[in-house]
């Protein structure tokens, strides 16, 4: 497997003391399908407790297991389907002509064929999940997870401090005065571009699930506007709904950082 650029995973401590891990592995099936390898690097601001790292690794192990199983199911769908269809036909004709048993209704023979095909399909699925290829994939990606090394990031340090500073503040004031804060200037510095771009991508994937279609359109309008014109439009967003993984403070931070990149988001 070819090795690509580093992929970052982030731990962000929120203003209330809670934490969130942001990573791209909600769509791990696509990573497996691409056939590429990569190196994971962890970034944090305030160091999380050991239990958080353990729970995060266990979550990634589960994602790897589910994703490999899904990849196997998709890649082997055609042979599983064809073999199961063949079993259906064999079963149907077997009970129709080879064995003279009192099965007077055709539907009963079809039902026997369907049951046989389903059993065959599920059996092949379990068999393919235990193949050498599947086992090697699990070992490969679990090994990548095991080799994650977390280190302090000036970008995440600045972001966490920014989240604390804007907590409870008027949204328009935060937007208009953001450039006056050293933390925000650190976040948008050229040195932090790689980490910043990956973080924004992860947040976008979460927002795609959290926001309604109308809200996503409004977000794109806000991103394409200048900071001075942003405040009134943000009032149109129902910020009360933004209370899941991406809370209001992180959402506002995302908007400000995204504006600096001046790129429309395709949700």
pLDDT digits (tens, 9 = 90+) for 91-107: 888 877 766 655 555 55
pLDDT digits (tens, 9 = 90+) for 195-240: 999 999 888 888 877 777 777 777 777 777 666 666 666 666 655 5
Per-residue pLDDT, averaged over 1-28, amounts to 76
Structural domain including 125 reads 72-139
Model confidence at 3, pLDDT cuts 50, 70, 90, reads: very low
Are 92 and 165 within one domain? no
End residue of a domain, out of 115, 139, 163: 139
3-state percent breakdown (helix, strand, coil) of the chain, nearest 5: 70, 10, 25
Strand intervals (E) in the chain: 7-13, 19-22, 40-44, 149-152
Cα separation of 90 and 54, whole Å?
50
Are 133 and 238 within one domain? no
The pLDDT of residue 226 is 66
Are 162 and 267 within one domain? yes
Are 230 and 157 within one domain? yes
The pLDDT of residue 11 is 93
Model confidence at 155, pLDDT cuts 50, 70, 90, reads: very high
**SS3 (DSSP) at 246:** coil
Structural domain count, the chain: 2
Which two tokens mark 230?
């942003």
Residue with the larger pLDDT of the pair 182 and 246: 182
Residue 17 located in a structural domain = no
Interstrand relation of 40-44 and 149-152 (parallel, antiparallel or unpaired): parallel
Residue 4 located in a structural domain = no
DSSP state, residue 131: S
pLDDT digits (tens, 9 = 90+) for 114-147: 888 899 888 888 888 888 888 888 888 888 888 8
Residue 119 located in a structural domain = yes
Residue 135 located in a structural domain = yes
H or E, element range at 240: none
Are 175 and 237 within one domain? yes
End residue of a domain, out of 116, 139, 162: 139
* Nearest CA among 252, 222, 236, 227 for reference residue 176: 227
Residue 96 located in a structural domain = yes
Residue with the larger pLDDT of the pair 258 and 26: 258
Are 182 and 267 within one domain? yes
End residue of a domain, out of 139, 162, 197: 139
Query: What distances in angstroms separate CA 241 from CA 19, 156, 211, one per listed residue?
Result: 19, 25, 8
Are 180 and 128 within one domain? no
State how far Cα 256 lies from the chain centre: 22
The pLDDT of residue 229 is 67
Residue 145 located in a structural domain = no
Helices 132-146, 50-75: crossing angle, 10 deg rounding: 160
Residue 157 located in a structural domain = yes
- Whether residue 149 has pLDDT greater than 80: yes
Are 133 and 231 within one domain? no
pLDDT digits (tens, 9 = 90+) for 26-70: 666 666 666 666 778 899 999 888 888 899 999 989 988 888 888
The pLDDT of residue 93 is 81
Are 95 and 169 within one domain? no
Are 124 and 214 within one domain? no
What residues have CB less than 8 Å from 159, skipping those under 6 apart? 12, 45, 183, 187, 199, 253
The values of phi and psi at residue 15, to 5°, are -65, -25
Are 124 and 174 within one domain? no
Residue 229 located in a structural domain = yes
Residue with the larger pLDDT of the pair 8 and 217: 8
Are 80 and 135 within one domain? yes
The pLDDT of residue 19 is 84
């Amino acid at each position: 497997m070819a090795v690509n650029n580093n992929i970052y995973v982030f731990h962000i401590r929120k203003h209330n003391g809670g934490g969130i891990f942001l990573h791209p592995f909600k769509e791990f099936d696509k990573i497996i399908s691409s056939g590429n390898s990569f190196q994971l690097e962890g970034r944090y601001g305030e160091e999380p407790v050991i239990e958080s790292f353990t729970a995060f690794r266990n979550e990634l192990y589960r994602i790897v297991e589910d994703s490999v199983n899904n990849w196997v199911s998709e890649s082997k769908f055609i042979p599983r389907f064809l073999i199961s269809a063949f079993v259906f036909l064999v079963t149907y004709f077997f009970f129709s002509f080879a064995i003279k048993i009192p099965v007077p209704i055709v539907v009963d023979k079809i039902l026997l064929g369907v049951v046989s095909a389903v059993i065959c399909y599920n059996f092949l699925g379990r068999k393919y999940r235990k193949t050498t290829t599947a086992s090697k994939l699990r070992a490969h990606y679990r090994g990548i997870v095991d080799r994650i090394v977390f280190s302090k990031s000036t970008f995440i340090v600045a972001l966490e401090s920014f989240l604390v500073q804007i907590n409870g503040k008027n949204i328009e004031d935060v937007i208009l005065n953001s450039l006056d804060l050293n933390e925000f200037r650190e976040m948008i510095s050229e040195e932090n571009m790689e980490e910043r771009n990956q973080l924004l991508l992860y947040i976008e994937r979460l927002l795609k699930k959290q926001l309604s279609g109308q809200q996503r359109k409004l977000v794109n309008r806000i991103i394409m506007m200048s900071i001075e014109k942003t405040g009134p439009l943000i009032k149109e967003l129902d910020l009360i709904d933004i209370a899941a993984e991406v809370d209001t403070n992180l959402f506002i931070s995302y908007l400000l950082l995204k504006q600096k990149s001046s790129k429309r988001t395709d949700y």
